[in-house]
């Protein structure tokens, strides 16, 4: 990327989609980013800001002149403005809100009054409604003269006199029907409303489960307050999966590939600290058997295998459980069956690897009693790994804790402790 003169840079950026400009800003180095911003601030419009990762976005907002920023946000839909300002500091938030027209400002402030990560934060307040007794012709005539239609809309929402949505008509049906047809006769069966305080992950679930394109959002009294469209739900769905992936690996879900060293350490060190604590617990179990280890050094060579197999089997089981909980595929009606299955799978794995591993031990060390010990320890640890892989996340979920965040630590601690204790304990009993 040669940042030589304004003209060539504009020529390069002009045909690019705002999402690609945002990716470019994220992927260049910080000095290059500053250079681009100072040369062609006009390229950074509201759309580009919306697409940026949070960390980079704050950096860019801090660089832009107040007028450029005001200009940038004025063209955005209110839901995008909310997304832009909700995690900014108070003065920066007020500077942006001040740049908006009064109605938009009120809309954004109202949205910010809803809980974080709720439908109220996600919805746009631009929507198209019609009384249920209108005809197709009336609706089309209304749309033709309406001034401020949303940039994207997929349904005309039918409301009662109290502004409660009762049904909707797709634009396709509207276009395909004669002018004298009543809207009430061409509504969709898929209609469902979303409560304004529903958590956004449940909104994403509803869109995914019921193949919704857009859905009206209603307040406590059932009145229409906004609309959520599938593109917003798709973003939430991706963020939720991303969050689970990162949390399962012990990385803070606010981390990004464009973070610097300090932010990256901040997003990973806490989990490594927890892991150190659990690793020390496992080592304390080992230290109980120092005498046995001194006597038979083969125990030290083989014990990591038992722990490693347990850790991996437990991780398999818990990952499946965490995702099934997230996608609501694990419920009361199949929980007992899944628990029984994980126990049975753990036993099968245990028996398979007991045979394999005791054969390997015989070839390697030729100690028949030790082969028996490693076989027993393998069965015990893989059985416990399977069970804890399902029981730990389910318990955390019941306690309203995120199973993706903490299950890994608990399960590997269990499999390390059980693995070392079973192997070294049995060895001490049988061999020494």
CB of 89 to a copy of itself, least distance (A): 26
User: Tokens for 214?
Assistant: 């857009």
Closer by beta carbon to a copy of itself, 75 or else 238: 238
Smallest distance from a copy of itself to CB 67, Å:
25
Cα separation, 111 vs 92, in Å, equals 17
DSSP assignment of 228-277, as one string? EEHHHHHHHHHHHHHHHHHHHTT--TT--TT--HHHHHHHHHHHHHHHHH
Q: Give the 3-state secondary structure of residue 332.
A: helix
86 or 263: CB nearest a copy of itself: 263
Interatomic CA distance for residues 168 and 158, integer angstroms: 5
Q: How many CA atoms lie within 13 A of 42 on its CB side?
A: 6
Q: Do 3 and 36 meet the contact criterion of CB atoms below 8 Å apart? A: yes
Looking at the Cβ atoms of 99 and 426, the one nearer to a copy of itself is 426
End-to-end CA distance of the chain: 68
Closest separation in Å from C-beta 66 to a copy of itself = 28
Phi-psi region of 252 (alpha: psi -120 to 50; beta: other; left: phi over 0): beta
Q: Which is nearer to a copy of itself, 57 or 349 (CB)?
A: 349
CB nearer to a copy of itself: give 332 or 398.
Answer: 332
Q: For the CB of residue 163, give the shortest distance to a copy of itself in the complex, in Å.
A: 21
Question: Least Å distance between CB 354 and a copy of itself?
Answer: 12
**Residues facing residue 227 across a β-bridge:** 124, 216
Beta carbon nearer to a copy of itself, 291 or 401: 291
Of the two residues 99 and 122, which places its CB atom closer to a copy of itself in the complex? Answer: 122
Shortest distance, CB of residue 13 to a copy of itself, whole angstroms? 15
Cβ neighbours around 146 below 10 Å, total: 9
Q: CB of 19: closest distance to a copy of itself in angstroms?
A: 5
Bridge-partner residues for 199, per DSSP?
A: 118
Cβ(63)–Cβ(36) below 8 Å: no
């Amino acid at each position: 990327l040669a940042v030589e003169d304004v003209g060539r840079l504009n020529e390069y950026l002009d045909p690019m989609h705002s999402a690609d400009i945002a990716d470019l800003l994220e992927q260049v180095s910080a000095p290059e980013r500053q250079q681009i911003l100072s040369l062609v601030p006009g390229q950074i419009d509201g759309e580009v800001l919306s697409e940026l990762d949070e960390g980079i976005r704050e950096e860019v907002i801090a660089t832009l002149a107040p007028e450029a920023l005001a200009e940038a946000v004025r063209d955005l839909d209110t839901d995008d403005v909310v997304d832009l300002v909700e995690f900014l500091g108070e003065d920066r938030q007020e500077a942006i809100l001040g740049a908006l027209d009064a109605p938009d400002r009120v809309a954004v402030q109202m949205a910010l009054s809803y809980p974080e990560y709720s439908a109220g934060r996600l919805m746009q307040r631009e929507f198209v409604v019609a009384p249920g007794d209108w005809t197709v012709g009336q609706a089309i005539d209304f749309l033709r003269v309406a001034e401020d239609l949303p940039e994207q809309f997929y349904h005309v929402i039918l409301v009662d006199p109290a502004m409660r949505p009762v049904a909707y008509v797709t634009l396709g049906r509207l276009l395909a029907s004669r002018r004298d047809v009543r809207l009430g006769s061409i509504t969709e069966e898929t209609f469902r409303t979303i409560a304004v305080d529903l958590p956004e992950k449940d909104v994403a679930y509803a869109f995914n489960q019921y193949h919704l394109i857009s859905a009206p959002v209603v307040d406590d009294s059932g009145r229409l307050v906004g609309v959520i469209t599938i593109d917003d739900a798709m973003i939430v769905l991706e963020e939720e999966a991303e969050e689970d992936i990162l949390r399962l690996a012990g990385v803070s879900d606010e981390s990004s590939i464009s973070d610097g060293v300090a932010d990256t350490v901040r997003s990973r060190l806490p989990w490594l600290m927890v892991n150190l604590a659990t690793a020390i617990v496992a080592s304390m179990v080992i230290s109980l058997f120092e005498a046995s280890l001194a006597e038979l050094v083969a125990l030290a060579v083989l014990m990591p295998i038992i722990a490693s197999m347990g850790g991996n089997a437990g991780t398999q089981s818990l990952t499946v459980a965490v995702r099934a909980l997230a996608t609501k595929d694990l419920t009361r009606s199949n929980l007992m069956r899944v628990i029984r299955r994980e126990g049975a799978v753990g036993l099968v794995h245990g028996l398979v690897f007991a045979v394999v591993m005791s054969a390997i031990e015989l070839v390697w060390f030729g100690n028949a009693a030790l082969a028996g010990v490693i076989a027993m320890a393998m069965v015990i640890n893989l059985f416990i790994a399977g069970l804890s892989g399902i029981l730990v996340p389910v318990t955390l979920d019941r306690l309203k804790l995120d199973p993706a965040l903490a299950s890994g630590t608990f399960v590997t601690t269990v499999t390390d402790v059980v693995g070392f204790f079973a192997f070294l304990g049995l060895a001490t009993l049988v061999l020494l």
